């Protein structure tokens, strides 16, 4: 893995009148960009690919937030700089903020946790209110342990969501209480 989107070019001739195209994927790819071109190579139509901007509170040396939105779903990732982001090892709240570019309806945040040091003992997903204050998205405004290496957090049905933010108060698992690590963050 080189930290880039897993681009794969595939060309198919689609019969005139077809309205559906099925693409084979592996279970690890969750984004797809499709361009329809004519025989001369001119793009006739394409799918918009919106990749959220990512901000993090800190990053450990050799790591980057780039894997958080690269489209690779890697559950239970270990200490792999090309596959995961890891916070700096400081005893403070760590967070990942997704800027979706505009307000969108979000009903779930899925987190793909790093597990080498154990699952995080305290997690919470927040949203920015009208004046920019961070608020918990669930009805219970307290943190909870991660449910598993893949943690689906059904949160709310807000139409004004622009920047969901998973947090880990004072870091991660029992083996690394000052770390927070993720390989991917998805919103639905």
Note whether residue 112 is domain-resident: yes
pLDDT at 159: 44
pLDDT at 87: 92
CB-based contacts of 82: which residues, under 8 Å, 6+ apart?
1, 2, 3, 67
Q: Is residue 122 within 8 Å of residue 82, measured between CB atoms?
A: no
Domain CATH for 125: 2.60.120.260
Note whether residue 1 is domain-resident: no
Average pLDDT, stretch 98-104?
A: 76
Note whether residue 31 is domain-resident: no
Q: Is the pLDDT of residue 2 over 50?
A: no
Note whether residue 27 is domain-resident: no
Note whether residue 25 is domain-resident: no
The upper half-sphere exposure of residue 41, i.e. CA atoms within 13 Å in the direction of its Cβ, equals: 0
Average pLDDT, stretch 110-125?
A: 85
**Domain interval for residue 143:** 53-187
Note whether residue 159 is domain-resident: yes
Q: Global pTM?
A: 0.70
- pLDDT category, 139, cuts 50, 70, 90? low
- pLDDT category, 154, cuts 50, 70, 90? low
Q: How many domains does the chain have?
A: 1
Note whether residue 13 is domain-resident: no
Note whether residue 179 is domain-resident: yes
Q: Give the number of residues written for the chain.
A: 188
């Amino acid at each position: 893995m080189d930290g880039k989107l897993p681009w794969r070019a595939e060309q198919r001739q689609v019969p005139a009148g077809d309205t559906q195209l099925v693409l084979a994927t592996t279970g690890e790819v969750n984004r797809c960009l499709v361009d329809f071109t004519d025989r001369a190579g001119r793009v006739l139509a394409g799918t918009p690919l919106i990749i959220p901007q990512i901000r993090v509170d800190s990053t450990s040396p050799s790591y980057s937030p780039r894997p958080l939105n690269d489209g690779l779903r890697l559950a239970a990732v270990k200490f792999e700089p090309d596959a995961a982001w890891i916070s700096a090892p400081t005893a403070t709240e760590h967070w990942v903020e997704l800027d979706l570019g505009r307000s969108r309806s979000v009903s779930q945040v899925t987190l793909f946790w790093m597990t080498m040091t154990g699952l995080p003992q305290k997690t919470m997903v927040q949203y920015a209110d009208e004046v920019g204050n961070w608020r918990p998205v669930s009805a219970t405004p307290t943190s909870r342990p991660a449910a598993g290496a893949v943690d689906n957090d059904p949160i709310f049905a807000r139409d004004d969501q622009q920047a969901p933010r998973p947090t880990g108060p004072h870091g991660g698992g029992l083996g690394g209480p000052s770390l927070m690590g993720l390989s991917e963050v998805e919103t639905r």
